Each structure stands twice: as structure tokens, then as C-alpha cells.
Structure 1
Amino acid sequence: MNTTHRPVLLAEAVTALISGPLITSHSTTENLILIDGTFGRGGHTKALLAKLPSSAKMIAFDKDLDAIAVAQQINDQRLHIVHDSFAQMDQYAEPGSIDGILLDLGISSPQVDEAHRGFSFRREGPLDMRMNTDQGLTAAQWLEQAPPEEITHVIKTYGEERFAFQIAKAIVAKREAGLAPTTTLELATLVASVVRTREAGQDPATRTFQALRIFINRELEDLERGLKAALTLLKPGARLAVISFHSLEDRIVKQFLQAHSKVEIPRGLPVRDRDLPQSELAIIGRIKPSAEEVRENPRARSAIMRVAEKRLGATA
């Protein structure tokens, strides 16, 4: 099986980070520290290392033990591997010490393609779905015990699935009959029996599997905490680039960047322009994959990268 992972927006992400004022300034390149919050299979990390001086340091995070094993095979003293969520990055670096942060959200191709991980609704495997297989409930264990109302909420909220109630009802009915789904294809078949209509080209189980994966791994909670940590860690002039793959992630990123790029002034307060406080972030841009990249890597089609820069006057 081909489990090669092709990093999305590779050149664009590297350019976004290294073209910021800190890294382009010759006076600051001696002790650069960058963070790759989601190592995956190392595509972005290796591309960034190729552009950085020998004195630089790259801290790479991942919850997935398979990703950590790949990272540990890279012979580069600049690379420091951390088996943890990027949500905890502020536990591994000092405030205002980081020159650039990249978050490539979502799931890597090997995780989807390797059936034993339980992420794929097209391949038979145990219904696991945990990024970190050392801790937490599997999706099957959670479905075995969760109340129907909670299952409905998770599938509706994290999958934006309009048939969430019917899917939850079917899962509970199977469970009460002693036939709770324990494999990916069992769940996919069950969902397909309930979801009668779906967008062209989309498997009926797509939204349910997305919802369970996000919930089991606390992905949105990690994203919210990770964004806050990134803002604290970035030096003034450093950049943050976040690649998301669905609307729930992108909405959180967009709203966070917008909130920290604005300054709220009480209505009616007499102030002059030079008296205005400065926002913490400047939004640099929003980038989507080219048509050529989408043709070569269909999994890139929904990707959006948002880039922001910590303002030079801002403090950690």
C-alpha cells in the first residue's frame, strides 16, 4: 500500500514563514527557533530546515507515535522532537522566544491509508481513531458507552451532519442488540444504511468519521489552546501559518486572527490616532492550493492557509 504523504502548500508555507521581517533580517539569523506543531511525516519540517542556518533550532510536535518514529530517523541536530500536542507548546519554550510557527492541521495520508489506525471508512480495521494510541478511549469504546444524545451532538457539531440523530439512533439500536460497531466498515455500513442522500462524490460516512476523529482527539480544543500558546511564544515580527482542511478548523483560525488584529475602543472615547493601542497581530493573507497542486494531490482541495505576523510593537 502506498502511504506516501504529500505535504500541502509546501512552498507557500515555507515562504510565508521565512519571508517575515525576523528571518530576513541578518541580525537575527544566528539563533532562530521555529516550531512545527504537526510533524506528520516531516515534509514541512525538512523543507524549513533546508532554508535555515546551521545555528537554527526546529521544535517539532506530534501526538502520533508513528510520526515520532519517523522524526527520530532524521539525522539533524537542529531538530528537537516532542511527543505531545502542539496545544502544549508553551510548556516547551519561553514567551517571546519563537521566530515562526507552522500548524498543519488535519490528518496525514499514512494515518488514513493504514487500516489499523481506524480512520478510513474505505478500509477494514479496528475502530480506533486515536492520534496518540497511548491514551484515551478508542472510537469504538466511546460509542459503546456514550448516551444517544451525546453521540448525536458530536456527529452534528463536529461533522455538520444533518442525519446525526438518525445515525446515533441506529448505533444505539445495534449496541442494545449486542452488535455495536467495532470496525471501520461496520460503522461505515451502518451510517450508509441511514444516510440516504449525500453530496456528489462524497461517501455517506465522511461526516460521521470526521466528527468522531475530531472528538476523540480533541482537535478543536487543541487548536484553540495552540493558537493562544502561539501568540504568547512568537517574537514581535515573527509569523504564524495555519493550514486547515475543513470549515470548523478554518473558522476558529479566522476568528482568532481577526480578534487579535483589531483594537476595541469604547464608543465615544476621545482618542487621537497616535494614542490608539496597537493590535497584537497583522493578518498577512489567505492562501489556497493551486489548481495544479489539487490535480496532483486531491487531498489538498479543501486546504486553506492563513498567515499572520506578530506586530513589532507587541509584547508576549
Structure 2
Amino acid sequence: MRHDEYHLPVMADEVTGFLVQGPGVYVDGTLGGGGHARRLLEALSGAGWLEGSLLIGIDQDADALDEAGRKLRHFGGRVCLERGNFGDMAAIAGRVIAEKAPGAAVSGILLDLGVSSHQIDTPGRGFSFMSEGPLDMRMDTRSGMTAADMVNTYGEQELAGIFYRYGEERGSRRIARAVKEHVRREGALTRTGELARIVRSVVHGHEHRTKSLARVFQALRIAVNDEMGVLEKALEGGAGLLGPGGRMAVISYHSLEDRMVKLFFREQSADDWGPKGVGLREPVRAGGFREVTRKPVVAGDGEIACNPRARSAKLRILEKKL
């Protein structure tokens, strides 16, 4: 597989098909290398809607913004790139809209969750157990606790909780115990390879080791970046940004994310029938949104063959009612 194939945007046809319904403001809250943003802009351009549109791209990774800037530069003033956390999407987008498109409603929002291919492929970021690098895992390298800080300073029980809650790792206690024993005997853990060797030492069987490594590294990444807390904030902020008929598309890659998105979309779409037993004929309050996709959209076999990252992806769409 060519290196650039790892950077293909997941379910790009489905995303553009659901989101692009006319000219307007579009927000890519997890810009990454700009693959999805380029496809959205191309769809707007092809339909003759680019002139009346603005795409706001947000990412906390400076490298990602540089790559996206190169990829999108020929769209000129129709693109505004901002460095920030997608949890602050509502505030960032609101500021840009007030400056560049006063009074405009948001027509579409995209959140493509999880770590980007570029971050995984960069050993110095410390996201992957498959390459040697510093045990960092911060998506925004300007500040915050690293994965090394976490494994070295957190207690055994707290680490085990992270591995189980965010990685659904059954051997969480055994792995956490081995990590803390290593720290006590050998000193601070600072490298991805060190952590990988510890996990391999207590998990038996090649297949089980690989899965446990993936779960442990995923769990630490989620905890380091507070991904679940940020996602909750982003969903609430995104729903508040949408104008009538506007849609929010979210691509998730593991069950914790997908469960949060599913429950949030259901809550926003549900009618309020008041206390049980009252027997109202009409709801007290009608849900302000509708689920465009009651079940998640998944990638087809052809895309998965070209882009393995799409295998675990689930796409859900929420629309604000007119």
C-alpha cells in the first residue's frame, strides 16, 4: 500500500452526500490534513455554490494545519483555518462567522474523531506502539499532561481504571501492576517501546498481545486528551451552531465514542411527553432535531480494501428541524 493511501478521508462520498445541501457555512471541527474539507469544497464548487460558502477548519495540531493549508490553498478566501480544540468549536466558529459572514447560519458540521493517520505515522508524537518514540500522545503539544506523566505519577488503581474504561481491556489490573512495578524498579517510563514491552510481558499469545497493546495505547490517548469530555462539549456546541435544516456528521472509531454520539442524537431528537402517567395527546416539547441515520453508515468493502482505517468507522447524521 502506498503511504499516501493512509491519508484518504474516510467515507468522503457519504459525508459530502449528507452534508452538502446548498451554499452556506461549513465547519470541519477535526480538520486533520484537510481531506474531508477538500471534498466538501469540491462538492460545493461542482454545484456552483462555492461563491456563497465559507469553510471553517479547526485543528489543534500545527502540523495538520500546515498540511491542510497546502491542500486547500487554491480555494482562497472560501477557507478559514483556525488552531484550537474541537471542544471549543462553537466559540471559534462563532467568532469567525461574526467577522467573515455576519448573521450566517451553519449548514454543515463534520467531526471525524480519533487520532489522525499523520499523527500515528509520526514516531515523535508517541501515539503508536508499532514505532519507537517519546511517550507523549498529546494532540496539542503546547501544553498538558503527557502519557509518560500519566503512567509515572498515577497510582496502580487509577491506571487500571483508565485501561478498562477507555480501552475495555480485561487485563487492565495486571497491566497496570506491571507498569507500576517497572517504574518502582527501573525509574520513569518515557518511551513507547518500554510500555509496549511491559504489556507484552504480561499478555500471552500474539493476537492477544496486539489487541491489548492497541487498547492500552488507545486508553492513554483518550485520557491524555480528555477525548470523551471534549466530544460531549463539541456535540452540544455543534448542535447549537446549526441553522434550520443544517446537519452535523460524526464519524467515530470505537464503541465509547459511537455510544456517546448515538445517545446525544437520540436525546436531541426525542419529544418531551412530560411525567409518565399524565397521558398527554401531544408532547410538551417537540424534539428540535431528527436523526437522518437511525443506524450508523459504514464503509463499503471497496473502500476498506483501499483504506483499512475505514473498517471500524461509523457515520451518524443529525439534522436541525426547519
Q: How far 1:297 sits from its partner (Å)? A: 1.2
Supply the distance in 2 between the matched residues of 1:203 and 1:181 (Cα, whole angstroms).
Answer: 21
Which range is displaced more, 264-273 or 136-145? 264-273
Q: How far 1:146 sits from its partner (Å)? A: 1.1
Q: How far 1:201 sits from its partner (Å)? A: 9.1
Q: How does 1:1-316 map to 2 (within 5 A)?
A: 2=3, 4-19=6-21, 23=22, 29=23, 32-52=24-44, 53-73=50-70, 74-75=72-73, 76-94=76-94, 97-196=105-204, 202-265=210-273, 266-273=275-282, 277-285=285-293, 286-312=296-322
On the 8 A contact 1:242/1:306 being kept in 2, the answer is yes
On the 8 A contact 1:198/1:204 being kept in 2, the answer is no
Which range is displaced more, 158-167 or 91-100? 91-100
In the TM superposition, what whole-angstrom CA distance separates every residue of 1:39-61 from its partner, at most 9, and x where no partner exists?
A: 11101001111122122111111
Instruction: Determine the structure 2 residue equivalent to 1:26.
Output: none
Which range is displaced more, 92-101 or 120-129? 92-101
On the 8 A contact 1:172/1:180 being kept in 2, the answer is no
On the 8 A contact 1:128/1:140 being kept in 2, the answer is yes
* Structure 2 residue identity aligned to 1:290: G
Supply the distance in 1 between the matched residues of 2:90 and 2:211 (Cα, whole angstroms).
Answer: 38
TM-score, L = length of structure 1 = 0.90
Supply the distance in 1 between the matched residues of 2:104 and 2:236 (Cα, whole angstroms).
Answer: 13
Q: How far 1:277 sits from its partner (Å)? A: 2.7
SS of corresponding position for 1:54 = helix
On the 8 A contact 1:34/1:57 being kept in 2, the answer is yes
Q: How far 1:218 sits from its partner (Å)? A: 0.9
In the TM superposition, what whole-angstrom CA distance separates every residue of 1:106-135 from its partner, at most 9, and x where no partner exists?
A: 111111111111011011111111101111
Unaligned runs of 5+ in 2: 45-49, 95-102
Computed over aligned residues only, the root mean square deviation of the Cα atoms, in angstroms, reads 1.9
**Relative to 1, partners in 2 of residues 1:303 and 1:201: Cα closer, same or farther, differing over 3 Å?**
farther
On the 8 A contact 1:96/1:233 being kept in 2, the answer is no
Q: How far 1:99 sits from its partner (Å)? A: 0.9
Q: How far 1:269 sits from its partner (Å)? A: 2.8
On the 8 A contact 2:136/2:146 being kept in 1, the answer is yes
Q: Percent identity?
A: 40
On the 8 A contact 2:137/2:221 being kept in 1, the answer is yes
Supply the distance in 1 between the matched residues of 2:92 and 2:300 (Cα, whole angstroms).
Answer: 35
Supply the distance in 2 between the matched residues of 1:129 and 1:96 (Cα, whole angstroms).
Answer: 36
Which range is displaced more, 209-218 or 55-64? 55-64
* Structure 2 residue identity aligned to 1:91: A
Q: How far 1:96 sits from its partner (Å)? A: 8.1
**Relative to 1, partners in 2 of residues 1:120 and 1:307: Cα closer, same or farther, differing over 3 Å?**
same
* Structure 2 residue identity aligned to 1:50: E
Post-superposition, which runs of at least 4 consecutive aligned residues in structure 1 deviate over 6 A? none
Q: How far 1:199 sits from its partner (Å)? A: 5.3
Which range is displaced more, 88-97 or 167-176? 88-97
Q: How far 1:2 sits from its partner (Å)? A: 3.0
Supply the distance in 1 between the matched residues of 2:121 and 2:26 (Cα, whole angstroms).
Answer: 29
- The count of corresponding residues between Structure 1 and Structure 2 is 301
Supply the distance in 1 between the matched residues of 2:262 and 2:131 (Cα, whole angstroms).
Answer: 34
